[in-house]
Structure 1
Amino acid sequence: MPRRAHDYRGLTQLSRLRLLRAIQRTPGLLLSELAEIAELHTNTAREHLRVLEDEGLVRSETQPTGGRGRPPIVYLPVREADSSPAASRRVAAATASGDALRRMSPDLDSSADLGTAATHQLDALYEHLEDAGLQPDLDERELTMTLAPCPYHRAVEEDRPLVCSVHARLVQDVLTQVPGPIELRRVDPFVTPHSCVIALGMKGEATRVPRTRRPAAAPDEGH
């Protein structure tokens, strides 16, 4: 299927994921610092960061020094939608699309149970995960999203914590960008070889589902 114009490219390469994780962990790093952390040439890191910024995953700002010369540029995660034009457009498009779908199919409207704010948070999160190629399956009663098949299941074992930690932080950021009561409770990674589960919750309420654990491997035949 052709890639949609607004699908994420920034999450398709491990180098960009490493840059994004560094920014998530230590907001305000310089280009040179990020390039060193990700073990990239400065020009390569700059190009990756431009893609991440264009897609609303990070933002840059100049850091006043009070001295002469060009002020340095630092990179930060996008935690508020209005801090990034791309993130703001995504949130607006997701909520508008969700509202239009509910008008056409009232049986899909759960806002009476969850509230409008929570429903718009789920709209934004669903669109974010779908654009990232994670094919979310939302259970509005249990407040879970199953991601299957996970496009990162072929990542080598040492890269999986990187992939999971970046996406978990992005889920938190997307939920923050749309004011409402939904919050991330946990991510259950690779509950099957190809799928993960995101458990959400309403503020002030207990998580609705127990932790999903990956089933133990079946013993070899003849043992």
Structure 2
Amino acid sequence: MKLMRAVQDEPGQKLEELAAQAEIHINTARDHLRVLEEEGLVASRPLATGTRGRPPAGFYPVCGPGMNPSADERVMASLSRGDMLRRLYPSLDRSSVIGEEAQHQIDTLVAHLEDVGLEPDLDLDRLEVTVVPCPEYDLCDENRASICDVHERLIRDQLSQVSGPLEVEQLEPFVTPDECRLTLSMRKQRLPNPAMPPRKQQR
């Protein structure tokens, strides 16, 4: 969690910088980054140094399509699973309420929450998702709020990997002793400014 937070806080940092920020050994950081990349949560890119030799890698949170092949595969698998479940159980189809794109964002989000053990319970009419507290919370005595922040940013990144209007409005930890609540909202579309004249077409 510390390493993921370090990647989120300053995208593009090198291995040595992330290890120091997370206060872990560089070899431990290397192993954890490899796992995070395999899980589709982190992407590495060569950094231009202007010197000869193999460039070092910078690490970034996966916040859009095409950044990490594993993330892209997970997204496609979650969409296929969601479509299949809705064919088997038409009552699960809420696209008439939230739209097809938002439904696909939900597919991706649910797959992520299930993967990290948060057991999501959806109320799509209210755009609310109830989850159990994350397993890491009780393992960390300090900076517990930062764990919730990491999860919230991961959720935002998951929603951004599929085109759609849903975004995170609020993540409330411990609304009950054993539940946290995620509230989503529909992104408002920009309306044309009536004060701005229409752009003339070029001939």
TM-score (norm 1): 0.81
Contact 1:183/1:200 (CA < 8 Å) preserved in 2?
yes
Q: Paired residue for 2:41?
A: 57
The 5-angstrom pairing of residues 81-160 of structure 1 reads 81-148=65-132, 150-160=134-144
The 5-angstrom pairing of residues 23-34 of structure 1 reads 23-34=7-18
Q: Paired residue for 1:12?
A: none
Q: Paired residue for 1:45?
A: 29
CA–CA distance in structure 2, aligned partners of residues 160 and 132 of structure 1 = 17
Q: Which moved more, 1:22-31 or 1:63-72?
A: 63-72
Look up the SS of the partner of 1:28 in the other structure. Answer: coil
| Deviation, structure 1 residue 92 | 0.4
Distance change in 2, residues 1:182/1:54 (3 Å): same
Look up the SS of the partner of 1:69 in the other structure. Answer: coil
Structure 2: unaligned runs, 5 residues or longer: 190-203
CA–CA distance in structure 2, aligned partners of residues 204 and 162 of structure 1 = 28
CA–CA distance in structure 2, aligned partners of residues 182 and 23 of structure 1 = 24
| Deviation, structure 1 residue 32 | 0.5
Look up the SS of the partner of 1:82 in the other structure. Answer: coil
Identity %: 50
CA–CA distance in structure 2, aligned partners of residues 153 and 116 of structure 1 = 34
Distance change in 2, residues 1:153/1:47 (3 Å): closer
CA–CA distance in structure 2, aligned partners of residues 149 and 71 of structure 1 = 40
State the number of aligned residues: 189
CA–CA distance in structure 2, aligned partners of residues 203 and 72 of structure 1 = 37
Superposition RMSD on alpha carbons, in Å?
A: 1.4
Query: Are positions 1:189 and 2:189 aligned together?
Result: no
CA–CA distance in structure 2, aligned partners of residues 199 and 63 of structure 1 = 37
What stretches of structure 1 move > 3 A for 4+ residues in a row?
Answer: none
Look up the SS of the partner of 1:60 in the other structure. Answer: strand
Distance change in 2, residues 1:65/1:152 (3 Å): closer
Aligned match for 2:3, one of 15, 19, 33: 19
Aligned match for 2:19, one of 35, 45, 59: 35
Contact 2:6/2:21 (CA < 8 Å) preserved in 1?
yes
Query: Are positions 1:68 and 2:52 aligned together?
Result: yes
Deviations 1:107-153 (A, max 9, x none): 11111111110000001001100111000001010001100254344
Distance change in 2, residues 1:149/1:32 (3 Å): closer
